[in-house]
Amino acid sequence: MIPFNKPFLTGKELDYISEAVASGKISGDGDFSKKCQAFFEKRFNLQKTLLTTSCTDALEMAAILCDIQLGDEVIAPSYTFVSTVNAFVLRGAKIVFADSNDNNPNIDPDQIEELITPQTKAIVPVHYAGVACDMGRIMSIADHSNVRVVEDAAQAIDSYCDGKELGSFGSLSTFSFHETKNVIAGEGGLLAINDTSLIRRAEIIREKGTNRSEFFRGEIDKYGWVDIGSSFLPSEIVSAFLYAQLEQLDQIQSQRCRLWNAYYEGLLHLAKSGHLILPCLPSYATNNAHMFYVLCENSGVRDSLIQFLKKKGIMAVFHYQSLHQSEYYRSRHDGRPLRNADRYTGTLLRLPMYYELSIEQVEQVCSAIDSFFCG
Ligand SMILES: *Cc1c(COP(=O)(O)O)cnc(C)c1O
């Protein structure tokens, strides 16, 4: 059996967790949390980072920091995970869904431009599969309209747009360490705050609306309730696990890229013969090998391919369902058809991708796909 995902352990996780436990400090913002944050800030050129218990939480913090009020509009892709937009809906925002590009599932900048109104408060690009959105265009649209950009970089660790780190463009950006991502902590996330004027409020929101972080740094002599907030910080046990992973980032990334390239080469002939479409990387984007997907001709072919592979013990899976068509948002959506989002909903298929997958297994998956199309 080849599963779709298998969480990778570097081997140091339990050692670091033991260290954290032995230190007697296992609540949040201890040494391991600080080390993880410092790693992200330095390596990815982020002004300030705060670990959170999930990327969902980081997005919820971002929505509060954008000061979203009832009726404000937020532009986001429809082809994304629920949390990307749910975080803003919780603050009363109206989500204005934009379609994906023709050649990849990222948000289409032309659509963003058309959808901006005086009510628009934020644009939330999602770097699908870790492949950069067109950040040059998106940042220039946002700057012209005085709108904030929040990057959902959940899948985009160690990936770049025109040589600049994803997560370093928006005033805020969010990462995920869910067990399905490249670097994991079970559940975990991180908020990057590149607009330094938001740092103080971010710390307060993360500490239940109190100025406790300033108190612990000795900047004030008592702390209290100064804003809204919640408990968004992870325990040191989670941070210790994460630090063990971050230390091995380069090794994780290079192994995943090897596998990704093996898939690409192994399926190229099927793309050339028109049986499927391979991922398209724009010239400004890098590949962090978060995911390997193919596009089938239609949903019938995609679904039979899933069944065919399953019979051979290979777990391949579809991905998002367009959010503008979801049970919750359908009646709230303004009715514009979003054809590319629906096309990816129906035709995109993700293949097994995890650190311990072998090149031989990748070849096995490719040959199974070949036999599906060519008999
Ligand atoms: C994984 C993911 C999330 C949610 O991350 P959690 O850490 O599970 O909350 C949000 N957005 C995208 C695009 C994701 O891939």
Q: Show the tokens assigned to 7.
A: 């969480």
In this structure, are 188 and 72 located in the same domain?
yes
Q: Work out which ligand 1 atom sits closest to the CA atom of 126.
A: 13
Q: Work out which ligand 1 atom sits closest to the CA atom of 54.
A: 7
Last residue of a domain, one of 247, 273, 301: 247
In this structure, are 224 and 302 located in the same domain?
no
**Residue 154 Cα to ligand 1 middle (Å):** 5
What does the pLDDT read at residue 291? 98
In this structure, are 123 and 266 located in the same domain?
no
In this structure, are 226 and 317 located in the same domain?
no
Let me know if residue 219 belongs to a domain.
yes
Overall domain count for the chain = 2
Ligand 1 pocket test, candidate residues 53, 54, 55, most atoms within 8 A of CB: 55
Let me know if residue 4 belongs to a domain.
no
Let me know if residue 44 belongs to a domain.
yes
In this structure, are 41 and 170 located in the same domain?
yes
Which protein residue's CA is at the shortest distance from atom 8 of ligand 1? 178
Which protein residue's CA is at the shortest distance from atom 14 of ligand 1? 154
In this structure, are 229 and 280 located in the same domain?
no
**Residue 220 Cα to ligand 1 middle (Å):** 35
Residue owning tokens 């971010």: 202
CB 66 within 8 A of CB 148: yes
Where in the chain does DSSP place strands (E)? 48-52, 73-77, 94-98, 120-123, 148-152, 160-161, 164-165, 172-176, 189-193, 292-295, 348-351
**Residue 335 Cα to ligand 1 middle (Å):** 26
Q: Work out which ligand 1 atom sits closest to the CA atom of 180.
A: 1
Let me know if residue 7 belongs to a domain.
no
Helix, coil or strand: residue 176: strand
In this structure, are 156 and 290 located in the same domain?
no
Which protein residue's CA is at the shortest distance from atom 5 of ligand 1? 55
What does the pLDDT read at residue 256? 98
Give the separation between CA 341 and CA 2, rounded to whole angstroms. Answer: 28
In this structure, are 190 and 281 located in the same domain?
no
What does the pLDDT read at residue 329? 98
What does the pLDDT read at residue 242? 98
Q: Work out which ligand 1 atom sits closest to the CA atom of 177.
A: 7
Let me know if residue 3 belongs to a domain.
no
- DSSP assignment string, 276-328: -B-----TTB----S-EEEE-SSHHHHHHHHHHHHHTTB--B-----GGGSTT
In this structure, are 271 and 200 located in the same domain?
no
Ligand 1 pocket test, candidate residues 155, 173, 291, 320, most atoms within 8 A of CB: 155
What does the pLDDT read at residue 108? 98
Ligand 1 pocket test, candidate residues 56, 90, 184, most atoms within 8 A of CB: 56
CA atoms within 13 A on the CB side of 36: 34
CB 236 within 8 A of CB 32: yes
Spatial CA neighbour of 115 closest among 90, 135, 142, 80: 142
Residues with CB under 6 A from ligand 1: 54-56, 80-81, 83-84, 126, 152, 154-155, 176, 178, 189
CB 370 within 8 A of CB 270: yes
In this structure, are 238 and 340 located in the same domain?
no
pLDDT per residue, tens digit, the chain (375 aa), is 999 999 999 999 999 999 999 999 999 999 999 999 999 999 999 999 999 999 999 999 999 999 999 999 999 999 999 999 999 999 999 999 999 999 999 999 999 999 999 999 999 999 999 999 999 999 999 999 999 999 999 999 999 999 999 999 999 999 999 999 999 999 999 999 999 999 999 999 999 999 999 999 999 999 999 999 999 999 999 999 999 999 999 999 999 999 999 999 999 999 999 999 999 999 999 999 999 999 999 999 999 999 999 999 999 999 999 999 999 999 999 999 999 999 999 999 999 999 999 999 999 999 999 999 998
What does the pLDDT read at residue 188? 98
Q: Work out which ligand 1 atom sits closest to the CA atom of 189.
A: 7
**Residue 177 Cα to ligand 1 middle (Å):** 8
Q: Work out which ligand 1 atom sits closest to the CA atom of 155.
A: 15
Residue 149: strand pairing partners: 123
Q: Work out which ligand 1 atom sits closest to the CA atom of 187.
A: 7
Last residue of a domain, one of 197, 215, 247: 247
* Residue type present at position 209: G
Q: Work out which ligand 1 atom sits closest to the CA atom of 56.
A: 9
Domain encompassing residue 49:
13-247
Give the separation between CA 74 and CA 89, rounded to whole angstroms. Answer: 9
In this structure, are 275 and 180 located in the same domain?
no
Ligand 1 pocket test, candidate residues 126, 178, 187, 293, most atoms within 8 A of CB: 178
pTM above 0.85, yes or no: yes
The CATH number covering residue 121 comes to: 3.40.640.10
What does the pLDDT read at residue 375? 87
